[in-house]
Amino acid sequence: MQGTIACHACDLLVDVSELKTGQRASCPRCGHSLTRIRKDAHSKVLAYSVAALIALVTANAFPFLSFASSGLESVMTLPQTPAMLWGNGLPMVAILVAAFIIYIPATVLVLLILLCMPLRGERWRPWLKPVGRWVFTLQSWSMVEVFIIGVIVSLVKIMKMATVTMGLSFWGYVFFAILFTMAIAALDKYQMWQEIEALEEQRG
Amino acid sequence: MAEVEGSTAKSEGLASCHTCLKLVPEDTHTCPRCGSAVHQRETDSLQRCVALLITACILYIPANVLPIMYTDQLGKTEASTIIGGVVLLIKLGSIPIAAIIFIASVMVPSGKLIAMFYLVWSVKSHSQLSPQQRTVMYQVTEFIGKWSMVDVFVVAILVALVHLGGLLVIRPGFAALAFAGVVIVTMIAAEIFDSRLIWDQLEDNNDNSAT
Ligand SMILES: [Zn+2]
Ligand SMILES: [Zn+2]
């Protein structure tokens, strides 16, 4: 059954063997999007992932927000955000927050690089399969875009109490979120596995 | 290749690997391509989904009753719940943000639970909604799942940001843990629910009318 996908949403068999670069296929019965062949997908994923990692490092290195009232000032940094929850008796929430906004997305980016470097060079690597299995599962637990909305809501909540300033890290995180989303969007699960399979066959 | 329009993997005796989408014979246990376990349909999808939904409903009570954060201002401590936060925003005049928070932290989590219960029920009985409509309902539920974490993130940010000695300090409450639990458990329930079961009904009906 080469070139056929069973729709993940409704199980209908759909022939995608005729799909060309730049085209996308969706299920004729339920409309679920099936696969898409992107031009230079691997180069795009690599570029966005590397840039996103740099932006994430920036987001961790500087003040994120600062809050000033009656001559007093407090500063929030990204790594300190889960740490403060831990310090206030909620270690479980601290771990979840750190994972969703920093560690899971960072791991996904590293995995994307590990995948797309050999795929772009059409070289077989023993880690391709395990990394391919993990990358999409982990991705579904990243919450970078949700965190940005959280920042905006927080700002509105406290704007009237004091002066709030956005630091360099805030903008770093916004860039990181955009690049992260673009990196993920550039990789197609079905096409990726077709390529991994082809590389494995070539090797053997 | 042959015209495959109109038949499903199941009706052809095939199973689709959840991880890599490879089509394999339905009696395959391990995917030959990626090595994941293969199931034609998610094992005990409905039972596991309902168990998780009930867990989420139970967690939803402390999430709403307990304070999600405390504000210590000049020696006085004020506890606020999720609903309390929405009321406060309305009082401050931030109606759009109050609406966002109300939708994200009250309507979305409860709506998601109701939608998931309905979808599970619909697989077992006659639904007024078409499989197409229910698939959209499921996909929307799945998509908005993580957005309910906004409340937990807001608490995390405010706690990290607002600590001005004895003047003004914000501390987290246990509702943050319960609420994070609701979001995560509902996300897993949505992941475990197998939307293909909705369409299997259609196949079963066709089989019945054909014979
Ligand atoms: Zn479909
Ligand atoms: Zn597989």
List chain B residues with CB under 8 Å of A69: 164, 167-168
Residue B174: inside a domain:
yes
CA distance B176 to chain A (A): 7
- B55 & B33 share domain: no
Beta strands in A128-187 (DSSP E): 163-166
* Residue B57 resides in a domain: yes
In chain A, what residues touch B102 (CB-CB under 8 Å)? Answer: none
* Rounded distance from Cα B30 to ligand 2 centre (Å): 8
A123 and A22 part of one domain? no
Q: Are residues A31 and A85 in the same domain?
A: no
Write out the residue range of the structural domain in which residue B21 sits.
Answer: 9-40
Verify that A73 and A125 share a domain, yes or no: yes
Q: What is the C-alpha to C-alpha distance for residues B128 and B138, in angstroms, rounded to an integer? A: 15
Q: Are residues A116 and A176 in the same domain?
A: yes
Residues B111 and B140 in one domain: yes
Mean pLDDT of all residues belonging to chain B: 89
Q: Which of A77, A151, A193 sits opposite B34 (nearest CB)?
A: A193
Among A169, A162, A192, smallest CA distance to A101 is for: A169
Query: pTM for the full model?
Result: 0.91
Task: Specify the CATH number for the domain of residue B177.
Answer: 1.20.140
Residues B22, B64: one domain? Answer: no
Same domain for B175 and B156, yes or no, is: yes
- Residue for token pair 């070539």: A202
pLDDT over 90, % of chain A: 84
Residues A64 and A105 in one domain: yes
- Shared-domain flag, residues B52 and B36: no
Same domain, B77 and B181: yes
Residues A125, A63 share a domain: yes
Is residue B209 included in any domain, yes or no?
no
Is residue B29 included in any domain, yes or no? yes
pLDDT, tens digit (0-9, with 9 covering 90-100), for B9-68:
999 999 999 999 999 999 999 999 999 999 999 889 999 999 999 999 999 999 999 999
Strand pairing class (A65-69; A24-26)? unpaired
Question: Do residue B108 and residue B171 come from a single domain?
Answer: yes
pLDDT at B88: 81
User: Ligand 2 centre and the CA of A18: distance in Å?
Assistant: 22
pLDDT band at B106 (very low <50, low <70, confident <90, very high): confident
Q: Tell me which residue range forms the domain holding A5.
A: 1-37
- Give the minimum alpha-carbon distance from A178 to chain B in angstroms, rounded to a whole number: 17
- Ligand 2 centroid–CA B209 distance in Å is 35
User: Out of B23, B132, B180, whose CB is closest to A6?
Assistant: B23
Q: Are residues A32 and A65 in the same domain?
A: no
pLDDT digits (tens, 9 = 90+) for B170-209: 999 999 999 999 999 999 999 999 999 999 887 776 666 5
Q: Check if the interface score ipTM surpasses 0.90.
A: yes
Q: Do B131 and A10 touch (CB under 8 A)?
A: yes
| In a domain? residue B199 | no
Task: Please check whether residues A50 and A33 belong to one and the same domain.
Answer: no
Whether B203 is covered by a domain: the verdict is: no
- For chain A, what is the mean pLDDT? 93
| B206 domain-assigned | no
Q: Which residue has the tokens 């690089």?
A: A113
Residues A109 and A135 in one domain: yes
Residues A107 and A113: their CA atoms lie apart, in Å, by 10
How many residue pairs bridge chain A and chain B with CB atoms within 8 Å of each other? 211
Q: Which two tokens stand for residue A109?
A: 């980016």
Contacts of B165 in chain A (CB under 8 A): 72
Q: Reduced to 3 states, what is the DSSP secondary structure of residue B15?
A: strand
The answer to whether residue B104 scores a pLDDT higher than 80 is no
Domain count, chain B: 2
Rounded to an integer, the average pLDDT of A102-116 is 97
The beta-carbon neighbor of B177 closest among A69, A93, A101 is A93
Yes or no, beta carbons of B147 and A30 under 8 Å apart: no
Whether A57 and A154 share a structural domain: yes
If you search the block for the tokens 């002066």, which residue do you land on?
Answer: A163
Q: Check whether residue B51 and residue B152 sit in a common domain.
A: yes
pLDDT of residue B4: 45
Q: Are residues A14 and A53 in the same domain?
A: no
A88 vs B18, B146, B171: nearest CB: B171
A15 and A52 part of one domain: no
Q: How many domains does chain A have?
A: 2
CB contact under 8 A, B172 and A85: yes
Query: Is the minimum CB–CB distance between B36 and chain A shorter than 8 Å?
Result: yes
Q: A1 pLDDT band (50/70/90 cuts)?
A: low
- Which residues touch A137 (CB under 8 Å, ≥6 apart)? B19
B residues 87-126 near A, CB within 8 Å?
89, 92, 94, 97, 100-101
For residues A85 and A94, is the Cβ–Cβ distance under 8 A?
Answer: yes
Please check whether residue B2 lies inside any domain of the structure. no
In this structure, the answer to whether residues B25 and B115 fall within a common structural domain is no
Q: Which residues lie closer than 8 Å to B149 by C-beta, 6 or more apart?
A: A100, A143, A146, A150, B180, B183
| B23 shares its domain with B123 | no
Does A69 sit within 8 Å of B195, measured CB to CB?
A: no
Query: Per the CB < 8 Å rule, is A193 touching B158?
Result: no
Residues B162, B73: one domain? Answer: yes
| Residue ranges with CB less than 5 Å from ion ligand 2 | B 17, 19-20, 22, 31, 33-34, 36
Q: Do B59 and B31 fall within a single domain? A: no
